[in-house]
Each structure stands twice: as structure tokens, then as C-alpha cells.
Amino acid sequence: MRNGVPSGTDERIALGLVIPAGLLGVLLAWALGGVPAASTVRFCADIAGAAVLGLTLAPRLADRIEVPWRMLAGLAGLWCCLEFATSIFAAGEVVGSGVTALSPADFGTYLLRISAGQIGLVILAATAGIALYAAVAFRRPGQRSADLVLVFAAVCVTLRPITGHMSQQPAGSVLAAVHALAASTWLGLLLALGLVVRGRRGWAEALPGYSAVALPMIAAVALTGVLNGLVRLGGFAAFFTTGYGRIMLAKSILLAILLVLGWWWRRSWVAAAAAHRISAAASLRRAVLEVAVMAVVFGLAASLAITG
């Protein structure tokens, strides 16, 4: 305790760095190739979706972890609002009038008659449903299922990617689904652990499970990302000569750094946490650092999704 504040509170507040770190990724993408303003909203929506997915998955890592239904309801509601904003930007681009001149009639036409808009409408309904379900579950502890939320969250996370630019490639929809779901699980779970795990014992129980999940997730993200890049760009030269290629190259470099960091954490942090040789605050600081770097990658990925 420090002045009545539980140890680790400052570090949990520091998890708020995920947003500015991701915006740094969007800014980096803009410098490398120029991206629309919609990338910022898309990134925030992706982070909210990953957090919802992570909070529903976290109890599978340790028996002591429970779904924080009130927090989940708030994040799902935020996710719904951000998906609505994403749809507005997308509608402005499709209609050609831009966001500022988009009329309600044009937006309605986009949602009801254009396939991308219909996908967005399904996501809006599903995320709103998650928020409502979580709010009710918080009030009625005996009647709730995290599995139901998990299914809807996973579907929402993959819907936009599987109908995006990767879907135009051979097996592109499968690659997009695996890429999006693996990335959201990878980041969302660690973010969730930073938000809900308490005490040295909590990290000792949950962190080894996360480490076992994170390795195949980051491998899936790297493999599907490289395959998509090579197919889309047509070769290695485009990684240096096009804006899309340069953004993807920056993303790949950061992923490589995260792979090395993950390998080092597995040998040091995970082993120490499992043996109760590291404090909860120290574990939380490491989680904050890794989540911040992941967020930069998410910012770059959101920019690629919009520019693609």
C-alpha cells in the first residue's frame, strides 16, 4: 500500500498508454505512406474489441480470474460507439462526400444497401448486444455466460477483415480471419491481465498460461501478415518503394522486436512470476511495456486496413 492506494494502481493507470502508443503507430504510418484520418478511429475500435475479447478469455487462464462484467459492459459500449464512427467514415468514403457532408439518407443507404455497410450494421448490433448482456449479467450474477460473449466478440473481430482487401486474394478471407483473431487475442489477453490480475499469486497462476497462448498467436500474426504482404505487393521490392509496403515493413520490424521480447520474457519474467520471485507491480510494469509496443503495431495495422 502507498498512501492507501493498492500497489500497482499507478501501473494500471499507465495501461492508458495503449491509446497514445497506438496513435503513435498511426502517425508513423502517415509519415511512411500517408493514411486517412479514419485510421485513428479504426485503431481505437480494434483496441476496444481486443479488450472485450481478452476480458472474456482471461478466466480460462486461471481459476481465480472472473469476468469483470461492469468493465466489460463499458468497453463493449465504447466498442459499439467506435464501430459506429468507423461506419460513418467508411460511408463518407464510399459515397464520395466525406464525413462532413454525409447526409443521414446517404448513411442509411450505405448501411442497408452496401455490403460493407451491412457488415457494419451487424457489428453494431452485436457489440450493442454484448454491452447490454454484460450490463444485465452484472446485475444478475447467477444468469450469465462468458462463452456467449466470447463467440459474439470473436465474430465481430473478424467480420471487417474477412470482407476487406485481403478477401480479394486467394485464401485471403481465411488469412484475414486468423490474422485478426490471433492479434486481438494476443494483445487483448495481456491487456485484460493487466486490468484484472491482483497480487503475486495471481500473476503466478495466469502468466504462464498467457505465455503458452501468446507464442502461437504471434506466430500466426507474423505468418499471415507476411503471406498477405507478399501476395498483395508482388515481391520484396515493394516493401521499400510503396507507402503500403513501408508501413508493412515497419509493422514487421516491430513484430520481430516483440518476438524477441516475448522470448526474453518467457525466460525471465514468466519463470520468475511462476516461482513467486517477482512482485505484482513489477509484472504489471512489464505488461504495460509490452502492451504499449503491441498498440503501436495495432496502429500500423489499422492504417493498413484503411489504406488497403
Per-residue pLDDT of the chain (308 residues; tens, 9 = 90+): 333 334 445 556 667 788 899 888 888 888 887 677 788 999 999 999 999 999 999 999 988 899 999 999 999 999 999 999 999 988 888 877 677 788 888 889 999 989 888 999 999 999 999 999 999 998 887 767 888 999 999 999 999 887 765 556 666 778 888 999 999 999 999 999 999 998 899 999 999 999 999 988 988 998 888 887 777 777 677 778 788 888 888 998 998 898 888 888 888 899 999 999 999 989 998 999 999 999 999 998 888 887 66
Tell me whether residue 183 is in a domain: yes
> The whole model's pTM is what?
0.90
Tell me whether residue 4 is in a domain: no
Q: How many domains does the chain have?
A: 1
Tell me whether residue 2 is in a domain: no
The pLDDT, as a whole number, for residue 10 is 53
Tell me whether residue 3 is in a domain: no
The pLDDT, as a whole number, for residue 166 is 59
Tell me whether residue 61 is in a domain: yes
Tell me whether residue 228 is in a domain: yes
The pLDDT, as a whole number, for residue 169 is 64
For residue 216, what are the domain limits? 9-307
The CATH number assigned to the domain holding 165 equals 1.20.1630
The pLDDT, as a whole number, for residue 6 is 41
Task: Choose among 147, 151, 187: nearest CA to 46.
Answer: 187
Tell me whether residue 191 is in a domain: yes
Tell me whether residue 140 is in a domain: yes
